[in-house]
């Protein structure tokens, strides 16, 4: 972790500690997608553990209207996750110093100089593949208390939701790799090489194969009947005690 990143996380911790000591209320505004929901949840959980008074809301986008709404908001301090690129000046004008952004989207050089913006690109971390908002929220939570290491599993979900498994054989790189290893060491996740099928725990085999579009398989993707036919011809048992089997139930021979 770079010194600049550590300093920003320390700045975040000081801000939150001040809010708690002063009994200030905190608002968390986050995006509605997977990375937004998980990053907002990580911060909310960490704040609750610290005894902070906080509320969480979602937004489809971040705009001047959202910034304006902060003027009449009863909360004293605002945290924005997975949103806010380009609105540093507006937030300064509206909220003064009572806000922080935790994000991973590319920002301008001007915004890199704003200490209230804690963004991966400021620290030489590729926000497109090495960390997402969930990861940034995780490190912020860890700055508050290292017991929040158990929130690493939620940050793993963030990275997968943003399709940042871009390393060799769909592995993680950079900070995502570090976070995933922490979750693995804590026994919260398992990391293994397996078939890349949707609905691993929930969808019948034929549906899982048919609805997997990455990679797209000519003749099979979106063609459930053909998938059912080819699975039957392979000799794989599709049902067990009258219930359709799912990908997670395949043994190694069947996977091969």
* CATH number of residue 69's parent domain: 3.90.1640.30
Measured between alpha carbons, how far is residue 74 from residues 88, 140, 254 in Å? Answer: 21, 24, 58
Residues 64 and 96 in one domain: yes
Give the model's pLDDT for residue 192.
86
Residues 91 and 167 in one domain: yes
In the predicted model, what is the mean pLDDT of residues 154-181? 95
CA distance 199 to 189: 17
- On the question of pLDDT at 196 being above 90, the answer is no
Give me the residues paired with residue 79 across strands.
28, 100
Note whether residue 195 is domain-resident.
Answer: no
- pLDDT tens, 60-118? 999 999 999 998 989 999 999 999 999 999 999 999 999 999 999 999 999 999 999 99
Residues 124 and 29 in one domain: yes
- pLDDT tens, 7-42? 999 999 999 999 999 999 999 999 999 999 999 999
Note whether residue 200 is domain-resident.
Answer: no
Residue 184, C-beta contacts closer than 8 angstroms, at least 6 positions apart: 190, 191
First vs last C-alpha separation in the chain: 40
Note whether residue 24 is domain-resident.
Answer: yes
Residues 97 and 172 in one domain: yes
Note whether residue 86 is domain-resident.
Answer: yes
Mean pLDDT of the chain: 95
Residues 43 and 165 in one domain: yes
Note whether residue 197 is domain-resident.
Answer: no
CA distance 1 to 130: 13
Q: What percent of the chain has pLDDT over 90?
A: 88
Residues 110 and 160 in one domain: yes
Residues 177 and 245 in one domain: no
- On the question of pLDDT at 194 being above 90, the answer is no
- On the question of pLDDT at 1 being above 80, the answer is no
Give the model's pLDDT for residue 149.
98
Residues 128 and 29 in one domain: yes
Host domain of residue 209: 205-251
CA distance 66 to 175: 30
Give the model's pLDDT for residue 250.
92
Note whether residue 198 is domain-resident.
Answer: no
Q: How confident is residue 200, by pLDDT bands cut at 50, 70 and 90?
A: confident
Q: How many domains does the chain have?
A: 2
Q: Is 243 helix (H, G, I), strand (E, B) or coil?
A: strand
Residues 47 and 82 in one domain: yes
In the predicted model, what is the mean pLDDT of residues 216-226? 93
Residues 143 and 244 in one domain: no
Note whether residue 53 is domain-resident.
Answer: yes
Give the model's pLDDT for residue 207.
95
In the predicted model, what is the mean pLDDT of residues 142-153? 98
Note whether residue 191 is domain-resident.
Answer: no
Give me the residues paired with residue 101 across strands.
80, 117
Q: What element of type H or E holds 10?
A: helix 3-21
Residues 175 and 226 in one domain: no
CB 58 within 8 A of CB 37: yes
Residues 88 and 210 in one domain: no
Q: How confident is residue 214, by pLDDT bands cut at 50, 70 and 90?
A: confident
């Amino acid at each position: 972790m770079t010194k600049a990143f550590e300093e920003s996380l320390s700045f975040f911790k000081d801000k939150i500690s001040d809010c708690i000591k002063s009994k200030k209320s905190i608002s968390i505004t986050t995006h509605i997608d997977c990375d937004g929901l998980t990053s907002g949840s990580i911060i909310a959980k960490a704040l609750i553990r610290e005894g902070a008074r906080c509320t969480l809301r979602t937004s489809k986008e971040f705009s001047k209207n959202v910034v304006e709404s902060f003027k009449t908001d009863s909360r004293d301090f605002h945290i924005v996750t997975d949103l806010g690129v380009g609105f540093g000046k507006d937030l300064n004008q509206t909220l003064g110093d009572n806000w922080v952004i935790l994000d991973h989207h590319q920002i301008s050089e001007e915004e890199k100089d704003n200490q209230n913006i804690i963004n991966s690109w400021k620290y030489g971390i590729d926000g497109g593949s090495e960390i997402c908002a969930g990861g940034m929220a995780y490190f912020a939570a860890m700055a508050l208390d290292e017991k929040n290491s158990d929130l690493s599993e939620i940050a793993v979900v963030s990275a997968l939701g943003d399709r940042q498994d871009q390393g060799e054989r769909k592995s993680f790189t950079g900070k995502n790799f570090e976070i995933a290893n922490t979750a693995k060491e804590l026994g919260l996740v398992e990391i293994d090489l397996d078939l890349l099928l949707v609905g691993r725990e929930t969808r019948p085999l034929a549906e899982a194969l048919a609805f997997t579009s990455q990679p797209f398989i000519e003749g099979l993707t979106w063609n459930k009947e053909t998938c059912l036919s080819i699975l039957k011809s392979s000799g794989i048992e599709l049902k067990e005690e009258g219930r359709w089997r799912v990908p997670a139930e395949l043994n190694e021979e069947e996977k091969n």
